[in-house]
């Protein structure tokens, strides 16, 4: 009867008829064989080794009476595997300890790593799709059929594709119409999750406006709270050797970077002014204090960062004029 369409049904009917004789004697094993038999594979489990051992031995006894031997017993518990071997049950072959291969077997067509106790679902079929052609509704439907998941482990993942197909039908797209940009982006995000052994997966794809804003804020945070103070500390540590022109150019460059990122100097003035003042030479700092009292005595923002930078620019220009005057207005090289 092997190879005939009705063979699986006949096998199931024969086993169900046979095990009914043992329902009172072996209730747990009978229930196991009645509900957990898939064609010729028994797939079940137990809460502890003693329970698993009893059920497996009882099931083996029941099937032996019908001249059907249960073979290749397999478990993720090594102690249970050794106990089965000791009891004379034929276990699933294992690789040797020196073998670098993966200890796995198939359960309903899904690879089961019995050492680390995890399942591997093959989604390589998604990578075999022809990406040189435009993605259409037909290709999306083909993608749904390339994932073999009889138990439903990937339901949180595959349901997204089913919802995407519903959206395609609602938009009345033909089978060979190219996907709109928004649906195409969603399809790409769905497709490129594969070979994932982590407990969670983070979808990668086009950045959203929220993510762009987050990245910009992170850059501002890094520049303000790390790089800028570090530069100030360096200048403070070597301020005796740092001339006013160099200090001004360093500060101006940093502030222009902040402005290019859409941040005004005034917004961060309260944070930056003390850092800048700590880098000034004593005579420059005193001049800055005097200039604030003289030029803007009644202005609320007299100590704004903009005023400080204007003051430093004037000081730099004045210092350059002094140096130029001291040179005697003579060129450094003969004409």
Contact between residue 132 and residue 149 where contact means Cβ atoms under 8 Å apart:
no
pTM for this model (two decimals): 0.46
Mean pLDDT of 82-111: 74
Confidence at residue 2, expressed as pLDDT on a 0 to 100 scale: 54
Res 271 pLDDT > 50: yes
Tokens 């034929």 belong to which residue?
90
Question: How far apart are the C-alpha atoms of 167 and 183, rounded to whole Å?
Answer: 9
Categorize the per-residue pLDDT at 270 as very low, low, confident or very high, splitting at 50, 70 and 90: low
Res 198 pLDDT > 70: no
Confidence at residue 300, expressed as pLDDT on a 0 to 100 scale: 45
The C-alpha angle with vertex 195 and arms to 183 and 111, in degrees rounded to 5, equals: 120
Categorize the per-residue pLDDT at 127 as very low, low, confident or very high, splitting at 50, 70 and 90: confident
Res 100 pLDDT > 60: no
Name which of 21-25, 100-104, 314-318 the model is least confident about.
Answer: 100-104
Categorize the per-residue pLDDT at 54 as very low, low, confident or very high, splitting at 50, 70 and 90: very high
Res 268 pLDDT > 50: yes
* pLDDT, greater one: 14 or 203: 14
Output 220-227 pairs: Cβ under 8 A, ≥24 positions apart.
220/258, 220/261, 220/263, 223/254, 223/257, 223/258, 223/261, 224/258, 224/268, 224/271, 227/254
Contact between residue 150 and residue 110 where contact means Cβ atoms under 8 Å apart:
yes
For the chain, the average pLDDT equals 74
272 by Cβ neighbours in 10 Å (0-12 / 13-18 / 19+) ranks as buried
Tokens 């083909």 belong to which residue?
142
Strand partners, 119: 112
Question: How far apart are the C-alpha atoms of 162 and 99, rounded to whole Å?
Answer: 42
Phi then psi for residue 42, to 5 deg, are -100, 120
Res 153 pLDDT > 60: yes
Strand partners, 41: 38
Question: How far apart are the C-alpha atoms of 273 and 309, rounded to whole Å?
Answer: 10
- Tell me the per-residue pLDDT of 207-250, one tens digit each, with 9 for 90 and over: 666 776 777 677 666 665 666 666 656 655 554 445 667 777 77
Confidence at residue 241, expressed as pLDDT on a 0 to 100 scale: 46
CA dihedral 96, 97, 99, 105 (to 10 degrees): 60
Percentage of the chain with pLDDT > 90?
4
Res 180 pLDDT > 60: yes
Confidence at residue 170, expressed as pLDDT on a 0 to 100 scale: 92
Contact between residue 92 and residue 74 where contact means Cβ atoms under 8 Å apart:
yes
Tokens of 191: 């497709």
- Tell me the per-residue pLDDT of 274-320, one tens digit each, with 9 for 90 and over: 666 666 667 777 777 776 645 544 444 445 667 777 777 777 766 65
Contact between residue 247 and residue 235 where contact means Cβ atoms under 8 Å apart:
yes
110-113 vs 118-120, strand pairing mode: antiparallel
* Cβ neighbours of residue 77 closer than 8 Å, sequence gap 6 or more: 49, 52
Name which of 41-45, 67-71, 84-88, 196-200 the model is least confident about.
Answer: 196-200
Mean pLDDT of 167-193: 85
Question: How far apart are the C-alpha atoms of 238 and 234, rounded to whole Å?
Answer: 6
Mean pLDDT of 19-47: 87
* pLDDT, greater one: 81 or 131: 81
Res 179 pLDDT > 60: yes
């Amino acid at each position: 009867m092997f190879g005939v369409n009705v063979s699986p049904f006949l096998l199931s009917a024969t086993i169900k008829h046979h095990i009914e004789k043992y329902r009172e004697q072996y209730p747990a094993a009978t229930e196991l064989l009645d509900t957990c038999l898939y064609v010729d594979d028994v797939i079940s489990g137990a809460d502890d080794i003693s329970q698993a051992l009893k059920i497996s031995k009882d099931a083996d006894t029941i099937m032996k009476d019908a001249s059907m031997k249960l073979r290749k017993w397999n478990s993720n518990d090594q102690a249970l595997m050794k106990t089965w071997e000791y009891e004379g049950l034929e276990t699933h072959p294992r690789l040797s300890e020196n073998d670098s291969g993966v200890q796995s077997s198939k359960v309903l067509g899904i690879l089961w790593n019995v050492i680390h106790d995890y399942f591997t679902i093959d989604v390589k079929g998604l990578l075999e799709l022809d990406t040189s052609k435009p993605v259409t509704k037909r290709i999306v439907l083909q993608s749904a059929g390339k994932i073999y998941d009889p138990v439903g482990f990937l339901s949180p993942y595959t349901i997204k594709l089913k919802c995407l197909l519903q959206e395609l039908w609602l938009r009345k797209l033909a089978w060979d119409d190219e996907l709109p940009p928004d649906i195409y982006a969603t399809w790409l995000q769905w497709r490129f999750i594969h070979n994932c052994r982590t407990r969670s997966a983070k979808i990668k794809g086009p950045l959203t406006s929220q993510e762009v804003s987050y990245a910009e804020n992170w850059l501002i945070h890094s520049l303000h709270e790390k790089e800028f103070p570090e530069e100030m500390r360096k200048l403070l540590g070597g301020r005796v050797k740092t001339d006013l022109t160099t200090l001004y150019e360093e500060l101006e460059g940093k502030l222009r970077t902040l402005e290019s990122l859409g941040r005004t100097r005034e917004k961060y003035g309260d944070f930056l002014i003390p850092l800048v003042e700590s880098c000034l030479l004593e005579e420059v700092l005193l001049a800055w204090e005097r200039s604030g009292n003289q030029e803007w005595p009644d202005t609320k923002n007299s100590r704004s960062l903009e005023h400080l930078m204007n003051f430093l620019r004037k000081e730099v220009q004045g210092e350059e004029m002094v140096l130029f005057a001291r040179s005697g207005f003579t060129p450094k090289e003969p004409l």
